[in-house]
Amino acid sequence: MKKKMLLITLFLIIVFAIILPICFTSGNAVIEDITITVGVTLYHFVMRIAVGAAVDLIMKNKANYKHRWFRERSFEKRLYKLLRVRKWKKYVPTYSPDTFDTGKKTVKEIVGATCQAEIVHEVIMVLSFLPIVLIPFLGGAAAFVTTSVLSMLIDSVFVILQRYNRPMLIRVMERFEKLR
Protein backbone atom coordinates (compact mmCIF):
# COMPACT_ATOMS: atom_id res chain seq x y z
CA MET A 1 0.00 0.00 0.00
CA LYS A 2 2.85 2.36 0.85
CA LYS A 3 4.36 1.99 -2.62
CA LYS A 4 0.97 2.58 -4.29
CA MET A 5 0.38 5.75 -2.26
CA LEU A 6 3.81 7.10 -3.16
CA LEU A 7 3.27 6.31 -6.86
CA ILE A 8 -0.16 7.97 -6.87
CA THR A 9 1.33 11.01 -5.13
CA LEU A 10 4.11 11.22 -7.71
CA PHE A 11 1.55 10.90 -10.53
CA LEU A 12 -0.57 13.68 -9.01
CA ILE A 13 2.50 15.94 -8.68
CA ILE A 14 3.30 15.44 -12.37
CA VAL A 15 -0.31 16.04 -13.47
CA PHE A 16 -0.58 19.12 -11.25
CA ALA A 17 2.71 20.52 -12.57
CA ILE A 18 1.42 20.09 -16.14
CA ILE A 19 -2.10 21.40 -15.62
CA LEU A 20 -1.36 24.38 -13.34
CA PRO A 21 0.32 26.55 -16.02
CA ILE A 22 -2.47 25.65 -18.46
CA CYS A 23 -5.03 26.74 -15.87
CA PHE A 24 -3.34 30.12 -15.39
CA THR A 25 -3.19 30.84 -19.11
CA SER A 26 -6.44 29.35 -20.40
CA GLY A 27 -9.10 31.01 -18.25
CA ASN A 28 -11.22 27.92 -18.94
CA ALA A 29 -13.61 27.11 -16.07
CA VAL A 30 -13.43 23.34 -16.69
CA ILE A 31 -9.61 23.42 -16.59
CA GLU A 32 -9.81 25.45 -13.36
CA ASP A 33 -12.14 22.87 -11.78
CA ILE A 34 -9.86 20.00 -12.86
CA THR A 35 -6.81 21.86 -11.52
CA ILE A 36 -8.49 22.49 -8.18
CA THR A 37 -9.61 18.84 -7.94
CA VAL A 38 -6.13 17.51 -8.78
CA GLY A 39 -4.52 20.02 -6.38
CA VAL A 40 -6.81 19.16 -3.50
CA THR A 41 -6.40 15.43 -4.13
CA LEU A 42 -2.63 15.94 -4.18
CA TYR A 43 -2.90 17.79 -0.86
CA HIS A 44 -4.75 14.85 0.69
CA PHE A 45 -2.09 12.36 -0.43
CA VAL A 46 0.89 14.51 0.60
CA MET A 47 -0.76 15.37 3.92
CA ARG A 48 -1.38 11.67 4.70
CA ILE A 49 2.22 10.74 4.01
CA ALA A 50 3.53 13.72 6.00
CA VAL A 51 1.25 13.12 9.01
CA GLY A 52 2.15 9.43 9.10
CA ALA A 53 5.87 10.19 8.93
CA ALA A 54 5.65 12.94 11.57
CA VAL A 55 3.67 10.84 14.04
CA ASP A 56 5.98 7.88 13.46
CA LEU A 57 9.02 10.07 14.09
CA ILE A 58 7.51 11.33 17.36
CA MET A 59 5.85 8.19 18.71
CA LYS A 60 7.78 5.26 17.19
CA ASN A 61 4.75 2.96 17.80
CA LYS A 62 5.15 3.30 21.56
CA ALA A 63 1.87 4.98 22.48
CA ASN A 64 0.53 4.32 25.96
CA TYR A 65 -2.43 2.08 25.19
CA LYS A 66 -3.68 2.60 28.78
CA HIS A 67 -4.27 6.30 28.17
CA ARG A 68 -7.97 7.08 28.43
CA TRP A 69 -8.07 8.29 24.80
CA PHE A 70 -7.44 4.71 23.65
CA ARG A 71 -9.81 2.96 26.07
CA GLU A 72 -12.86 1.28 24.68
CA ARG A 73 -16.05 3.30 25.19
CA SER A 74 -19.27 1.70 26.39
CA PHE A 75 -21.08 2.26 23.07
CA GLU A 76 -18.35 0.93 20.80
CA LYS A 77 -19.19 -2.78 20.79
CA ARG A 78 -22.77 -2.01 19.76
CA LEU A 79 -21.57 0.42 17.11
CA TYR A 80 -19.12 -2.11 15.63
CA LYS A 81 -21.83 -4.74 15.53
CA LEU A 82 -24.21 -2.29 13.82
CA LEU A 83 -21.48 -1.37 11.29
CA ARG A 84 -20.63 -5.08 10.82
CA VAL A 85 -16.92 -4.36 11.20
CA ARG A 86 -16.10 -8.03 11.59
CA LYS A 87 -17.36 -8.74 8.05
CA TRP A 88 -15.44 -6.00 6.19
CA LYS A 89 -12.31 -5.47 8.26
CA LYS A 90 -10.28 -8.02 6.30
CA TYR A 91 -10.76 -5.97 3.11
CA VAL A 92 -9.26 -2.75 4.50
CA PRO A 93 -5.72 -2.17 3.18
CA THR A 94 -2.80 -1.64 5.53
CA TYR A 95 -0.23 1.05 4.73
CA SER A 96 2.59 -0.87 6.38
CA PRO A 97 1.60 -4.53 6.96
CA ASP A 98 4.87 -5.37 8.76
CA THR A 99 3.79 -3.05 11.57
CA PHE A 100 0.91 -5.40 12.43
CA ASP A 101 2.61 -8.72 11.61
CA THR A 102 2.45 -11.07 14.62
CA GLY A 103 5.36 -13.01 13.18
CA LYS A 104 7.61 -9.94 13.28
CA LYS A 105 6.21 -7.90 16.18
CA THR A 106 5.14 -8.63 19.73
CA VAL A 107 1.50 -8.17 20.62
CA LYS A 108 2.50 -5.19 22.79
CA GLU A 109 4.23 -3.56 19.80
CA ILE A 110 1.15 -4.16 17.68
CA VAL A 111 -1.08 -2.61 20.36
CA GLY A 112 1.17 0.47 20.35
CA ALA A 113 0.97 0.55 16.56
CA THR A 114 -2.84 0.51 16.68
CA CYS A 115 -2.76 3.53 18.98
CA GLN A 116 -0.37 5.35 16.70
CA ALA A 117 -2.37 4.47 13.58
CA GLU A 118 -5.50 5.76 15.28
CA ILE A 119 -3.81 9.08 16.05
CA VAL A 120 -2.52 9.38 12.49
CA HIS A 121 -5.98 8.88 11.03
CA GLU A 122 -7.64 11.21 13.54
CA VAL A 123 -5.17 13.99 12.69
CA ILE A 124 -5.76 13.33 8.99
CA MET A 125 -9.52 13.56 9.54
CA VAL A 126 -9.11 17.05 11.01
CA LEU A 127 -6.61 18.20 8.38
CA SER A 128 -8.92 16.92 5.64
CA PHE A 129 -11.03 20.02 6.12
CA LEU A 130 -8.16 22.51 5.82
CA PRO A 131 -8.57 23.00 2.05
CA ILE A 132 -12.05 24.41 2.63
CA VAL A 133 -10.45 27.71 3.69
CA LEU A 134 -9.45 28.19 0.03
CA ILE A 135 -13.04 28.33 -1.22
CA PRO A 136 -13.36 32.14 -0.93
CA PHE A 137 -10.14 32.58 -2.93
CA LEU A 138 -10.43 29.86 -5.56
CA GLY A 139 -14.07 28.91 -5.72
CA GLY A 140 -14.61 25.24 -6.45
CA ALA A 141 -16.62 24.65 -3.29
CA ALA A 142 -17.93 21.33 -4.60
CA ALA A 143 -14.42 19.94 -5.13
CA PHE A 144 -13.14 21.18 -1.78
CA VAL A 145 -16.09 20.00 0.28
CA THR A 146 -16.45 16.67 -1.54
CA THR A 147 -12.79 15.71 -1.19
CA SER A 148 -12.72 16.81 2.45
CA VAL A 149 -15.81 14.85 3.44
CA LEU A 150 -14.76 11.74 1.49
CA SER A 151 -11.30 11.92 3.02
CA MET A 152 -12.72 12.19 6.53
CA LEU A 153 -15.06 9.24 5.92
CA ILE A 154 -12.26 7.07 4.53
CA ASP A 155 -10.04 7.79 7.52
CA SER A 156 -12.86 7.15 9.96
CA VAL A 157 -12.87 3.56 8.66
CA PHE A 158 -9.23 3.18 9.76
CA VAL A 159 -9.93 4.71 13.19
CA ILE A 160 -12.85 2.32 13.67
CA LEU A 161 -10.68 -0.61 12.65
CA GLN A 162 -7.90 0.26 15.11
CA ARG A 163 -10.38 0.76 17.93
CA TYR A 164 -12.17 -2.48 17.03
CA ASN A 165 -9.00 -4.58 17.05
CA ARG A 166 -7.21 -3.09 20.07
CA PRO A 167 -9.35 -4.52 22.94
CA MET A 168 -8.90 -8.06 21.62
CA LEU A 169 -5.15 -7.51 21.21
CA ILE A 170 -4.91 -6.15 24.76
CA ARG A 171 -6.72 -9.23 26.11
CA VAL A 172 -4.27 -11.51 24.25
CA MET A 173 -1.32 -9.47 25.52
CA GLU A 174 -2.55 -9.62 29.12
CA ARG A 175 -3.01 -13.40 28.88
CA PHE A 176 0.57 -13.78 27.65
CA GLU A 177 1.82 -11.60 30.51
CA LYS A 178 -0.03 -13.74 33.07
CA LEU A 179 1.63 -16.88 31.70
CA ARG A 180 5.11 -15.44 32.30
Read off the pLDDT of residues 25-77 as tens digits, 9 standing for 90 and up: 888 888 888 888 898 889 999 999 999 999 999 988 778 888 999 998 999 99
End-to-end CA distance of the chain: 36
Amino acid identity of residue 27, one-letter, is G
Question: Number of structural domains, the chain?
Answer: 1
Run means of pLDDT, 10 residues per run, the chain, 180 residues: 89 94 88 86 93 90 86 91 92 84 86 92 95 87 87 94 91 81
Dihedral over Cα of 102, 103, 107, 109: its sign: negative
Distance CA 79, CA 83 (A): 6
Distance CA 49, CA 67 (A): 25
Model confidence, pTM? 0.85
Per-residue pLDDT at 162? 92
Per-residue pLDDT at 2? 82
Q: Which domain holds residue 149?
A: 2-179
